[in-house]
């Protein structure tokens, strides 16, 4: 039943030991007969060959444990910021976000970020301190740091025993002796924190003590504390010795929320201003509502769509609808996942996680349902980081363009932070991700899975050309090759337009010196130059072209002659009109720990950036607001990572175009000449 289900995501910084804990929990819960090892390559999670080579997670992995009377769906997630997409996707499927902390390293960048993300999704949070038996760990200080960073609601629910080979319960049976602190005091703190949430319970507790409260009352108050963020339990484990692992399973079973006890999922019905909150009910008899939080393109099974059920029961042979209800499909086979393996099941109830295969129309974050009443339901979007690091790519072998396009599409289906851009203006395909490591892994995966090898280079910058003065242009096109010739003569004037105004073509020809049927040919010739550029090979923008005179021949004038005359008259005018190269200027918001503000602003100053100000955020973070040329920060991702040890992040959006400095224009013009001459 739904109240027996627990959904838990293991998140945290790289190296915290999430995968080792995942394997230890599976083993302790009897889901595996031996504990998986990263070193031996025997893990249920990290089954991808690339993960085994690197010995760290790249995608999320799912397995379940039947422990006591509960069915625990456990999701292991990557810790590196480059693979944040699969980690955040997993948060859409769970009630409990378990943040794993390396006892030796303490609070790291991803510890803080995942605490924030989980709070933003209104998930119940649990802090798991791993590697408690490593030498030199000051666990008492770490607890104080956790409370200082994340609030006094962070309280130990168990403590390491003397020697750290076991843990002592501080909630149900607070009778042991701990390595540090007092078990009785820890118990008292938790009870005090829990009863604060309910005035009635608080009153009886003050009068009668803990004996005056029933177990059910304490449990309900505990769940309310978790829901409202009034309590974040801290527990201790060692995946090496197994200390605290069995107790962690008991904690999942007895205290972490089932789908009915947690905060309701953040669904809305409708779109735009008409969107209203929609509350699902974990009732197996109601209409089906499920959300797809993971896509896997498996080479053997095909496309695997993994979803969390919030309402209703999904059975084999059920007809389901996708999003707006226009694409129904029949559930031929229903699967339960265990790492790379999938076991066929007959049905799945609210709260459970299941998968269907080979349904091509399903996409990440699709809502699956079985009634048109739910056609307009959407889950609140996850606030994914913007993929900023880019590479221009092309197939290493000619003729593989379609194969490349198919591979890119399949990879982007799996990772919401992997984007593909096609720049018609520059005739290039750009892939974007969360960092150099992210894109390197995606390209390796493309080669391994789809046998597509690519050439890469930094993306070209979408410079533009324009003019800054009025000028006249003229060209006479005359070609005589025996028989009918070609003739067309054009006089035109060009004027600069305001930034963003585009292109205007004006006919001021008087007296029929150019017949009306040839004016479209002149415009066609001009537009060819607009696309190709004149001085540096970039599109020309914000110019008005006025054709005011010319000549024609009653026999030799043809469309092709006026295309050529218009084209060359326009080039003649542009070269006289003080042409400029424009560059994209972006708004840049850099979020960093306050200690790095000086380094960041100093570094941006060397990139022709204008610093517009700084703002303080929660904790010790600050945001630096600036405007900078895109060309100067196209590879800023790696630099920021190096300066802030991976703790910085940034977003950019196009602000406007402005003229490049003279020395930059000179370089762009000179580099275009050889290319232009080759063409």
Q: How confident is the model at residue 675 (pLDDT cuts 50, 70, 90)?
A: low
Lowest mean pLDDT among 361-365, 386-390, 546-550, 578-582: 386-390
Cβ neighbour number for residue 668 with a 10 Å cutoff: 20
pLDDT (0 to 100) of residue 435 = 80
Asked whether the predicted pLDDT for residue 569 surpasses 60, the reply is yes
| Token pair recorded at residue 240 | 């090496």
Phi, psi of 187 (to 5 degrees): -60, -45
Q: 55 in the Ramachandran plot: left (φ > 0), alpha (ψ -120 to 50) or beta?
A: left
CA distance 9 to 628: 39
Average pLDDT over residues 467-479: 95
Q: How confident is the model at residue 674 (pLDDT cuts 50, 70, 90)?
A: low
Percent of the chain with pLDDT over 90: 66
The residue ranking higher by pLDDT, 426 or 541, is: 541
Average pLDDT over residues 216-221: 89
Q: Are 69 and 52 contacting, i.e. CB atoms less than 8 angstroms apart?
A: no
Asked whether the predicted pLDDT for residue 82 surpasses 50, the reply is yes
pLDDT (0 to 100) of residue 61 = 94
CA distance 490 to 473: 8
Phi, psi of 220 (to 5 degrees): -65, -40
3-state secondary structure of 414: helix
Q: What is the pLDDT of residues 414-455, one digit of tens each?
A: 999 999 988 776 788 999 888 888 999 999 999 998 999 999
Asked whether the predicted pLDDT for residue 217 surpasses 70, the reply is yes
Q: Are 149 and 112 contacting, i.e. CB atoms less than 8 angstroms apart?
A: yes
Lowest mean pLDDT among 392-401, 600-609, 618-627: 618-627
Asked whether the predicted pLDDT for residue 49 surpasses 80, the reply is no
Using only C-alpha atoms, what is the Rg of the chain?
32
- Give the position of tokens 């048109």: 372
Q: What is the pLDDT of residues 617-651, one digit of tens each?
A: 766 788 899 999 999 987 788 889 889 988 888 87
Lowest mean pLDDT among 51-55, 172-176, 398-402: 51-55
pLDDT (0 to 100) of residue 160 = 94
Terminal-to-terminal C-alpha distance of the chain: 70
- Give the position of tokens 């955040």: 88
pLDDT (0 to 100) of residue 181 = 84
632 contact partners, CB below 8 Å, separation of at least 6:
607, 608, 609
pLDDT (0 to 100) of residue 211 = 85
Asked whether the predicted pLDDT for residue 561 surpasses 50, the reply is yes
- Exposure on the CB side of residue 623, measured as CA atoms within 13 A: 11
Q: Are 417 and 434 contacting, i.e. CB atoms less than 8 angstroms apart?
A: yes
| Token pair recorded at residue 336 | 């339960």
Average pLDDT over residues 370-377: 89
CA distance 675 to 679: 6
CA distance 292 to 363: 7
- Give the position of tokens 């066929």: 344
Query: Among the residues of 37-107, which ranges form H helices?
Result: 49-54, 84-91
Q: How confident is the model at residue 376 (pLDDT cuts 50, 70, 90)?
A: confident
Average pLDDT over residues 84-88: 94
Distances in whole angstroms, Cα of residue 184 to Cα of each of 234, 403, 421: 16, 65, 59
Q: Are 100 and 128 contacting, i.e. CB atoms less than 8 angstroms apart?
A: yes
Q: What is the pLDDT of residues 317-339, one digit of tens each?
A: 899 999 988 889 999 999 999 98
Q: How confident is the model at residue 556 (pLDDT cuts 50, 70, 90)?
A: confident
Lowest mean pLDDT among 50-54, 105-109, 138-142, 258-262: 50-54
To which H or E segment does residue 297 belong?
strand 289-298
The residue ranking higher by pLDDT, 518 or 500, is: 518
CA distance 234 to 629: 46
Beta strands in 317-453 (DSSP E): 319-322, 329-330, 334-338, 341-345, 347-348, 353-357, 367-369, 377-379, 389-395, 419-423, 428-433
pLDDT (0 to 100) of residue 650 = 83
| Token pair recorded at residue 567 | 């084209």
| Token pair recorded at residue 194 | 């829990």
CA distance 105 to 131: 10
| Token pair recorded at residue 267 | 């669904």
Q: Are 547 and 522 contacting, i.e. CB atoms less than 8 angstroms apart?
A: yes
Per this entry, what is the length of the chain?
679
| Token pair recorded at residue 406 | 């198919």
The residue ranking higher by pLDDT, 637 or 79, is: 79
CA distance 273 to 347: 37
pLDDT (0 to 100) of residue 238 = 95
Lowest mean pLDDT among 267-276, 409-418, 604-613: 267-276
Query: Among the residues of 431-558, which ranges form H helices?
Result: 436-450, 519-532
pLDDT (0 to 100) of residue 52 = 72
Q: Are 573 and 494 contacting, i.e. CB atoms less than 8 angstroms apart?
A: yes
- Exposure on the CB side of residue 23, measured as CA atoms within 13 A: 21
Buried residues in 646-665 as b, exposed as e (16+ CB within 10 A): bbbbbebeeeebeebeeebb
Chain center to CA of 645: 20
Asked whether the predicted pLDDT for residue 288 surpasses 90, the reply is yes
Q: How confident is the model at residue 653 (pLDDT cuts 50, 70, 90)?
A: confident
Query: Among the residues of 548-652, which ranges form H helices?
Result: 559-576, 597-605, 630-633, 636-644
pLDDT (0 to 100) of residue 179 = 85
Query: Among the residues of 56-208, which ranges form H helices?
Result: 84-91, 109-120, 139-150, 183-195, 199-208
Highest-pLDDT range among 220-229, 459-468, 572-581: 572-581
Highest-pLDDT range among 25-29, 215-219, 458-462, 613-617: 25-29
The residue ranking higher by pLDDT, 484 or 412, is: 412
**What is the pLDDT of the chain when averaged over all its residues?**
91
| Token pair recorded at residue 25 | 């929990």
Q: Which of 315, 318, 334 is nearest to 370 (CA)?
A: 318
Q: Are 71 and 29 contacting, i.e. CB atoms less than 8 angstroms apart?
A: no
pLDDT (0 to 100) of residue 679 = 47
Cβ neighbour number for residue 273 with a 10 Å cutoff: 5
To which H or E segment does residue 611 belong?
strand 610-616
Beta bridge partners of 433: 389
DSSP 128-162: EEE-TTSTT--HHHHHHHHHHHH-TTEEESEEEBG
The domains found in the chain, sorted by start residue, are 2-187+232-254 (3.40.50.300), 267-379 (2.40.30.10), 389-457 (3.30.70.870), 465-577 (3.30.230.10), 582-663 (3.30.70.240)
pLDDT (0 to 100) of residue 668 = 94
pLDDT (0 to 100) of residue 677 = 52
């Amino acid at each position: 039943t739904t109240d027996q289900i627990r959904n838990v995501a293991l998140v945290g910084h790289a190296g915290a030991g999430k995968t080792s804990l995942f394997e230890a929990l599976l083993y302790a819960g009897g889901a595996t007969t031996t504990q998986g090892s990263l070193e031996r390559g025997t893990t249920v999670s990290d089954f991808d060959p690339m993960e085994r080579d690197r010995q760290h997670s790249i995608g999320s992995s799912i397995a379940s444990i039947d422990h006591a009377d509960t069915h625990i769906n456990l999701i292991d997630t990557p810790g590196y910021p480059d693979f944040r997409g699969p980690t955040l996707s997993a948060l859409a499927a769970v009630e409990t976000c378990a943040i794993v902390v390396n006892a030796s390293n303490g609070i790291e960048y991803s510890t803080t970020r995942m605490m924030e993300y989980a709070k933003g999704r209104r998930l119940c949070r649990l802090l798991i301190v791993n590697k408690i038996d490593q030498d030199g760990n000051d666990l008492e200080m770490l607890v104080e740091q956790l409370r200082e960073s994340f609030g006094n609601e962070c309280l130990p629910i168990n403590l390491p025993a003397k020697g750290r080979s076991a843990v002592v319960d501080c909630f149900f049976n607070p009778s042991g002796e701990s390595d540090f602190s007092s078990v009785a005091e820890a118990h008292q703190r938790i009870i005090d924190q829990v009863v604060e949430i309910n005035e009635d319970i608080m009153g009886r507790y003050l009068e009668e003590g803990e004996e005056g409260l029933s177990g059910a009352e304490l449990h309900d108050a505990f769940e309310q504390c978790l829901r409202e963020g009034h309590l974040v339990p801290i527990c201790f484990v060692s995946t090496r010795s197994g200390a605290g692992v069995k107790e962690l399973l008991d904690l999942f079973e007895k205290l972490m929320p089932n789908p009915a006890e947690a905060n309701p999922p953040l669904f809305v019905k409708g779109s735009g201003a008409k969107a209203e909150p929609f509350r699902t009910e974990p009732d197996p008899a109601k209409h089906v509502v499920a959300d797809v939080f993971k896509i896997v393109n498996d080479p053997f099974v095909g496309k695997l769509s993994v979803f969390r059920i919030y309402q209703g029961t999904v059975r084999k042979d059920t007809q389901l609808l996708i999003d707006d209800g226009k694409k129904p499909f029949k559930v031929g086979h229903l699967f339960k996942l265990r790492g790379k393996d999938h076991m066929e099941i007959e049905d799945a109830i609210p709260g459970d996680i299941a998968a269907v295969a080979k349904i091509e129309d399903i996409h990440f974050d699709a809502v699956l349902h079985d009634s048109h009443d739910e056609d307009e339901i959407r889950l609140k979007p996850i606030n994914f980081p913007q993929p900023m690091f880019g590479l221009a790519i092309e197939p290493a072998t000619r003729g593989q363009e379609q194969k490349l396009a198919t591979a890119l599409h399949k990879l982007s289906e799996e990772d919401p932070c992997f984007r593909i851009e096609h720049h018609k203006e520059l005739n290039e395909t750009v892939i974007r991700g969360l960092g150099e490591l992210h894109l390197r892994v995606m390209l390796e995966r493309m080669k391994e899975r789809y046998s597509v090898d690519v050439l890469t280079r930094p993306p070209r910058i979408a410079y533009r050309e324009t003019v800054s003065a009025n000028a006249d242009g003229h060209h006479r096109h005359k070609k005589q090759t025996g028989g009918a010739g070609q003739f067309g003569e054009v006089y035109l004037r060009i004027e600069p337009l305001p930034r963003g105004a585009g292109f205007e073509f004006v006919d001021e020809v008087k007296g029929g010196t150019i017949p009306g049927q040839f004016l479209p040919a002149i415009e066609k010739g001009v537009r060819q130059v607009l696309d190709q550029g004149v001085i540096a090979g970039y599109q020309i923008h914000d110019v008005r072209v006025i054709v005011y005179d010319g000549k024609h021949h009653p026999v030799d004038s043809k469309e092709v002659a006026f295309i050529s005359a218009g084209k060359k008259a326009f080039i003649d005018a542009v070269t006289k009109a003080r042409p400029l190269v424009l560059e994209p200027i972006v708004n840049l918001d850099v979020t960093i720990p306050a200690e790095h503000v000086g380094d960041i602003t100093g570094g941006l100053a060397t990139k022709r950036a204008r610093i517009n100000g700084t703002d303080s955020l929660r904790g010790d973070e600050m945001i630096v607001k600036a405007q900078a040329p895109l060309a100067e920060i196209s590879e800023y991702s790696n630099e920021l990572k190096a300066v802030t040890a991976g703790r910085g992040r940034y977003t950019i959006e196009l602000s406007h175009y402005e003229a490049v400095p003279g020395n930059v224009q000179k370089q762009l013009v000179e580099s275009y000449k050889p290319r232009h001459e080759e063409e």
